[in-house]
Amino acid sequence: MTQFSSDNPARAHRFSLANDGSGLEELSGWRAYPRVQQPTWPDEQELATVFDALRAAPPLVFAGEVDVLRSRIAAAASGEAFLLAGGDCAETFADATADRISAKIRTILQMAAVLTYGASVPVVKMGRMAGQYAKPRSSDEETRDGITLPTYRGDAVNSFEFTQESRRPDPQRLWRMYTTSAHTLNLLRAFTGGGFADLREVHSWNRGFAATPAYKRFERLAEEIDKAIRFMDAIGADFDALKVVEFYSSHEALLLDYEEALARIDSRTGEVYGCSGHFLWIGERTRQLDGAHVDFMSRLRNPIGVKLGPTATVDDALALIDRLDPDREPGRLTFVTRMGADRIRDRLPALVEGVRDAGARVAWMTDPMHGNTITSSNGYKTRRFDAILDEVVGFFEVHRELGTVPAGLHMELTGDDVTEVLGGTDHIDEAALEKRYETLVDPRLNHQQSLELAFLVAEMIAATSPSRPS
């Protein structure tokens, strides 16, 4: 969701959609392919009713915004910008409150401010927000004390509570996903367009963070940024213009019924856009070349991400490029690697080289979360801060060695003071996990850990990237 300046490209776009959805028939081609990770909806008729309601509802994002984001990602792929995506593993309806949403936006803006300074390029801000309500799961069922129920697949599908009724997939939840995404986007657009994102304000929050005793080591970087802002002020930079920032929404396009229902045709060009969010990605578990997700996403005009885990081969990557980015269009395709800290230095180089040598121009992002998930001795699904940081460092090292571009970071984080990830300067230990472990799926960096990571990465980029254009 972007606040555009006067030449708002979104204005040039009108979506056409007859009530019967005509023009979008081809989009349902995915239904002929094997589909994985889809709920078994108990009532197909109810699903069809919700589908029709979603299809008749206004789009959540607009083609012009999506096109601008594609151009921003193209800039990141060539080193002229840097992507920062962050948010919950799984958003929940209950947590779509003003306080929690604003804390998340604030955290991402704070991280972006330091990364902008470190990288000396614009940071493209994306929330894993306003649509991240569906989760792929390793098992269809969960057993507790001898009782087996369908697994929790995210608030878009069922409820976390372990009862027969709660775990039953309910298509009405797709409607709630739409309305909750709309509420979240509304707040996001208001915050990022209404002064909340003022760089001076964001920097003063960061100064507060860097001045706390535990994070004293970042004070120097905060002072440098301070100096840069005073310099901008002195030369007459228009800070009022900087109050308005572009901020995009992204989520895993997992539930294809929902994604299809929210696709719209841009009447200017006749092209099809997924209008549930600006950037949509295919997960590690749903990227089968001959599967429904790849087919569906190949038909959309949005910038698309694909997660690549440690088993991904160069051939997999090249075949995905052929399916999803046959024209080799800059900004169209982003590979989000999630290898694990202990594997990234082994696995990433061949992929990056293979893709580069084939002439494809994808953006490479690192997701340092999903390859580093462990279980603590007291039974929590967690991650170590150091492993997360190490995967980011490895990602930059690999690209530096190859002379290729590390285009961005994809993080699971929250703006709240949860205790879900081990370590960081606050030394969250296994016992502390019990204090405030709130995630329903994967552990997130809390507010402090997110900022700490951003400062560490900014320091590293500033110290080691002579090749970045300044």
Nearer to Mn ion, 59 or 154 (CB): 154
Whole-number Å distance between alpha carbons of 284 and 463? 33
Closest CA to 130 of 63, 185, 55: 185
Question: How many binding residues for Mn ion (CB under 5 A)?
Answer: 2
Token look-up 């030449």 returns 7
Q: Which does 354 bind (CB under 5 to 8 A by kind): Mn ion, ligand PEP, none?
A: none
* Residue 129 within binding range of Mn ion, rule CB under 5 A: no
Q: Which does 136 bind (CB under 5 to 8 A by kind): ligand PEP, Mn ion, none?
A: ligand PEP
Stretch that binds ligand PEP, among 279-287, 344-352, 375-383, 421-429 (CB under 6 A): 279-287
Q: Which of 284, 325, 391, 420 binds ligand PEP (CB under 6 A)?
A: 284
Whole-number Å distance between alpha carbons of 316 and 320? 6
Q: Tell me the per-residue interface mask from 87 to 106 with Mn ion, x by CB under 5 A, - otherwise.
A: --x-----------------
Closest CA to 217 of 445, 456, 447: 456
Tell me if residue 115 falls in helix, strand or coil: helix
Q: Which does 284 bind (CB under 5 to 8 A by kind): ligand PEP, Mn ion, none?
A: ligand PEP
Whole-number Å distance between alpha carbons of 351 and 237? 42
* Residue 444 within binding range of ligand PEP, rule CB under 6 A: no
Shortest CB 230 distance to ligand PEP, Å: 39
Q: Which of 23, 29, 122, 136 binds ligand PEP (CB under 6 A)?
A: 136
Shortest CB 367 distance to Mn ion, Å: 9
Token look-up 């993080």 returns 411
Whole-number Å distance between alpha carbons of 196 and 55? 33
Per CB under 6 A, contacts with ligand PEP among 394-413 are none
| Cα 244–chain centre separation | 21
Residue of closest CB approach to ligand PEP = 283
Nearer to Mn ion, 257 or 442 (CB): 442
Per CB under 6 A, contacts with ligand PEP among 62-91 are 89
| Cα 81–chain centre separation | 16
Shortest CB 136 distance to ligand PEP, Å: 5
Nearer to ligand PEP, 252 or 325 (CB): 252
Q: Which does 407 bind (CB under 5 to 8 A by kind): ligand PEP, Mn ion, none?
A: none
Shortest CB 389 distance to Mn ion, Å: 18
Parallel/antiparallel/unpaired status of strands 363-366 and 15-16: unpaired
| Cα separation values, 297 from 28, 51, 67, 278, Å | 11, 18, 16, 13
User: In residues, how long is the chain?
Assistant: 470
Whole-number Å distance between alpha carbons of 218 and 212? 10
Nearer to ligand PEP, 269 or 311 (CB): 311
Closest CA to 336 of 85, 116, 1, 79: 85
Nearer to Mn ion, 89 or 355 (CB): 89
Nearer to ligand PEP, 266 or 284 (CB): 284
Shortest CB 186 distance to ligand PEP, Å: 24
Q: Which two tokens stand for residue 160?
A: 């976390």
Stretch that binds ligand PEP, among 11-19, 38-46, 109-117, 278-286 (CB under 6 A): 278-286
Per CB under 5 A, contacts with Mn ion among 400-459 are 442
Whole-number Å distance between alpha carbons of 158 and 440? 12
Exposed, middle or buried, 88 (CB in 10 Å: 0-12/13-18/19+)? buried
Residues 42 and 169: beta-carbon distance below 8 Å: yes
Residues 281 and 300: beta-carbon distance below 8 Å: no
Instruction: Check residue 266 and report its DSSP letter.
Output: E
* Residue 338 within binding range of ligand PEP, rule CB under 6 A: yes
Q: Which of 70, 125, 264, 370 binds ligand PEP (CB under 6 A)?
A: 370
In sequence order, what are the beta bridge partners of 148? Answer: 143
Parallel/antiparallel/unpaired status of strands 263-266 and 271-274: antiparallel
Q: Which of 307, 347, 383, 384 binds ligand PEP (CB under 6 A)?
A: 307
Residues 158 and 256: beta-carbon distance below 8 Å: no
Stretch that binds ligand PEP, among 266-274, 281-289, 294-302, 384-392 (CB under 6 A): 281-289
For binding to Mn ion (CB under 5 A), which residues are involved? 89, 442
For binding to ligand PEP (CB under 6 A), which residues are involved? 89, 136, 252, 283-285, 307, 338, 370, 442
